[in-house]
Amino acid sequence: MSNNIDYSLYLVTEAYREGYRSEYLKKVRQALQGGVNVLQFREKNASSLRQFELAKALKDMSQSFHVPFIINDRVDIALAVNADGVHVGQEDLPAEDVRRLIGPDKLLGVSAATVEEAVKAERDGADYLGVGSVFQTGSKGDATLIEMDEIARIRQEVTIPIVAIGGINAENVKRLPERHADGIAVISAILSAADPKGAAEQLKEQFLSKKHK
């Protein structure tokens, strides 16, 4: 897929709770109304059938906002719902194999915490990098903190967009190094907020005001 995608505000979904489908979908819709540019479906616990069904609903929703829809980890579900792309980390299927499976036209995101991982991901066909954790997060148990300078070092070695992730909120977004990240990926600062639309608007505004300094 071409890389003229705006990664400024990248929303990753929270864990799905059985019985709360309409609340779950409503919060994502509100976040999209607040200006989310890319949506990722990340679900670790639900059955494959539930993931497939939620992914279909989210794909329709993101399409109606003209927002690319990415699936985390599960290439099979991405292909089944004809998602716009897949995101994989260092413990998932290798990026080069995912690229082969999804073909040249879908988006491929790869997590990278070091320059070496970032350079390899770009070589293996990644369209963008997820780089983190930039701050302490409660949303991913096995996340490890990276040094802030690592983003700047990665920026010097790759040309693809960099999306910073991990514990980002409207306050600490100002502490991200200037101009090195093309976007921020967020779960809780938007989906745990009382007003997901307002939270998305505020985060995007804070990030863009920093990016364009």
**Could you tell me if 157 and 115 are in contact, meaning their C-beta atoms sit under 8 angstroms apart?**
yes
Least distance (Å) between residue 87 CB and ligand 3NM: 9
Q: Does 89 bind Mg ion (CB under 5 A)?
A: yes
Quick one: which of 34, 35, 166, 183 contacts ligand 3NM (CB under 6 A)?
A: 166
Q: Is 111 annotated as a binding residue?
A: yes
Each residue 126-165 as x (binds ligand LCLJCK34 by CB under 6 A) or -, in order, gives ----x-x-------x----------------------x-x
Measured from the CB atom, the residue of 54 and 185 that comes closer to ligand LCLJCK34 is: 185
Can you list the pairs that 161-164 forms with residues at least 24 positions away whose Cβ atoms lie under 8 Å? 161/3, 161/5, 161/7, 161/127, 161/128, 161/129, 162/128, 162/129, 162/131, 163/7, 163/10, 163/109, 163/128, 163/129, 163/130, 163/131, 164/131, 164/132, 164/134
Annotated catalytic, 64? no
Which letter, b or e, does each residue of 70-102 get, where b requires 16 or more Cβ atoms within 10 Å of its Cβ? bbbbbbebbeebebbbbbbbeebeebeebbeeb
Query: Cα–Cα distances in Å, from 169 out to 12, 37, 57?
Result: 14, 17, 27
Q: Please identify, among the stretches 61-69, 81-89, 118-126, 199-207, the one whose residues bind ligand LCLJCK34 according to the rule CB under 6 A.
A: 81-89
Where along the sequence are the contacts to Mg ion (CB under 5 A)?
A: 73, 89, 92
Where along the sequence are the contacts to ligand 3NM (CB under 6 A)?
A: 12, 42, 111, 130, 132-133, 137, 139-140, 143, 165-168, 186-189
Where along the sequence are the contacts to ligand LCLJCK34 (CB under 6 A)?
A: 10, 12, 40, 42, 72-73, 87-89, 92, 109, 111, 130, 132, 140, 163, 165, 185
